[in-house]
Amino acid sequence: MTTRHVSHNILIVEDEWLIALDMEMVIKDLGHTVIGPAANVAAALLLIERSEIDIAFLDISLGSEQSYPLADTLHDRKIPVTFLSAYTTMDLPSRFRDFDLLQKPVAAKDLSRQISKMLNT
């Protein structure tokens, strides 16, 4: 019996182009579809409104903005979110301390493991 791979839509919000590109390549190599990447809150909100999203990776610091409004929106829609940052969990606002946090830069194996965890696969 063979298991069929199901492709999922994964949102990337990251303002550092090289990090976003690296994540995009890993996600595509895993057979998933990348939504974005978006480099700021406004662009990300448009993608959220216009796209079907299964899970999301959000860089916390987006230039002069933070991605917390995006996390609220996605959480309200029951879309799993993982933050990406050099911050620690204790640096996050209390309402986000239960969210997963990956330290940047994220290794491909850690990104892959987190995707599996978020998709329950």
Q: Where are the domains of the chain?
A: 9-119
- 52: pLDDT confidence band, cut at 50, 70 and 90? very high
Is residue 30's pLDDT more than 90? yes
Model pTM score:
0.93
Instruction: Give the strand pairing for 65-66 and 61-62.
Output: antiparallel
Cα(31)–Cα(65) distance, integer angstroms: 31
Please choose, from the candidates 19, 18, 69, 83, the residue with its C-alpha nearest in 3D space to the C-alpha of residue 40.
Answer: 69
* Residue 35 · residue 57 · CB < 8 Å: no
pLDDT over threshold 80, residue 2: no
User: 57 is written with which tokens?
Assistant: 């990776």
Q: Higher model confidence: residue 15 or residue 87? A: 15
Q: Does domain 9-119 have CATH number 3.40.50.2300?
A: yes
Looking at residue 89, its pLDDT comes to 79
